[in-house]
Amino acid sequence: MARSPLSNRQRFDPSVAFMSTFNLSLLLLAFRPVPGTLFSPSLPLNPAIPKAVASVPKIETAARDRLNPVKQTVETTRQNVDRQVRSTYHLPPREFEGRTIHRVELPSQRRVIALTFDDGPWPDTVPILDILRENEIRATFFMVGSHLQSFPEIARQVVKEGHVLGNHTWNHQYYPVNDYIASQEIDNTAASLNQQTGVYTRLFRPPGGNLTNGLANYAARGNYAVVMWSINPEDTYGGSAASLADRVISQAHPGGIVLLHDGGGNRAQTVAALPTIIAGLRDRGYEFVTVPEILAMELEEQQVPAKQPLTP
């Protein structure tokens, strides 16, 4: 038997079509959404639930409000301890890592000044230590690695008496260097300072104040603070102790960093001038602090912006 192109089911029948539509309408009517049912967003399924959900952010806010001062205190304490520890361990505040410092700016104009001594350890370091001890002053000593090899005991005495150490290269290198030589000059000195005295320093002073021969740049990349000076009485150029003292005192300013030398030659003139320098500055109301201390003071007064984290 030949099949019809359309089966019975597929053939259009108006009565069937009407009944199907009618049945569908009934079905929809039976299950229509009514206000306040499942389909309504305002359905109060359990009155307690929306209330509890709404109160979660409030609890969080309240807890945060209570925790914020605690967190702040913890953070302040952490920063204070950090600064104290860093100062004790001959490190600048983190904010100064990788930066070059000539002087610190103190809006208060507080009369603080940092004495620094370069090119030791050296036999002349010993009488300088005596004078500093008698005057209860702590200073900062930028040491040369090769001199440290010759006078490690003097370096240990410097540390024992509470002074701060900085790195002044191995050979007092003035000339342009590549990273390999810079590493030998700076990293070897750092290792020797650590070996001989137990000190880990991140204070660097470039020999001759040269900021462009590759050494300062290498040190800055190694998170050293590159410490220059704002008062240079040129104590290695001869002249009388009195005139040397005058040159320091006349240039003194709040937040000043004084460049003096305890090593690398005959420093008798510096030794002779030091008591007059100290007395003259004290008469003018100056207190003596180390380099990490004076940097921390700037931080307290100026709110120096935190160092940006290194991007990978």
Q: Which residues are catalytic?
A: 118, 261
Of residues 203-242, which lie at the interface with Zn ion (CB under 5 A)?
207
95 binds Zn ion (CB under 5 A): no
Cα–Cα distances (Å) from 195 to 31, 148, 171, 181, 187, in that order, read 87, 10, 18, 20, 12
The nearer residue to Zn ion, 95 or 235, going by C-beta atoms, is: 235
The nearer residue to Zn ion, 118 or 235, going by C-beta atoms, is: 118
- Burial pattern 190-208, b for ≥16 Cβ within 10 A else e, equals bebbeebbebebbbbbbbe
298 binds Zn ion (CB under 5 A): no
The CB-of-213 to Zn ion minimum distance in angstroms stands at 13
Report the DSSP pairing between strands 256-261 and 225-227: unpaired
E-strand ranges in the chain read: 100-101, 112-120, 140-143, 164-167, 203-204, 225-227, 256-261, 287-288
The CB-of-166 to Zn ion minimum distance in angstroms stands at 11
Number of residues binding to Zn ion, judged by CB under 5 A: 3
Of how many residues is the chain composed? 312
Residue of 95, 119, 235, 293 that binds Zn ion (CB under 5 A): 119
The Cα–Cα gap between 119 and 264 comes to 5
CB 129 within 8 A of CB 161: yes
The CB-of-169 to Zn ion minimum distance in angstroms stands at 8
Of residues 150-209, which lie at the interface with Zn ion (CB under 5 A)?
207
The CB-of-172 to Zn ion minimum distance in angstroms stands at 6
The CB-of-191 to Zn ion minimum distance in angstroms stands at 20
The nearer residue to Zn ion, 207 or 254, going by C-beta atoms, is: 207
Task: For residue 123, give the nearest of 233, 265, 245, 238 by alpha carbon.
Answer: 265
E-strand ranges in 57-186 read: 100-101, 112-120, 140-143, 164-167
The CB-of-119 to Zn ion minimum distance in angstroms stands at 4
118 binds Zn ion (CB under 5 A): yes
Residue nearest to Zn ion (CB): 118
The Cα–Cα gap between 180 and 275 comes to 42
CA dihedral of 101, 284, 233, 254, whole degrees rounded to 10: 10
Cα–Cα distances (Å) from 27 to 21, 24, 30, 40, in that order, read 10, 5, 5, 20
Find the part of the chain contacting Zn ion (CB under 5 A) among 112-120, 152-160, 247-255, 282-290. 112-120
Find the part of the chain contacting Zn ion (CB under 5 A) among 10-18, 111-119, 122-130, 293-301. 111-119
| DSSP symbol at 165 | E
Contacts to Zn ion by CB under 5 A:
118-119, 207
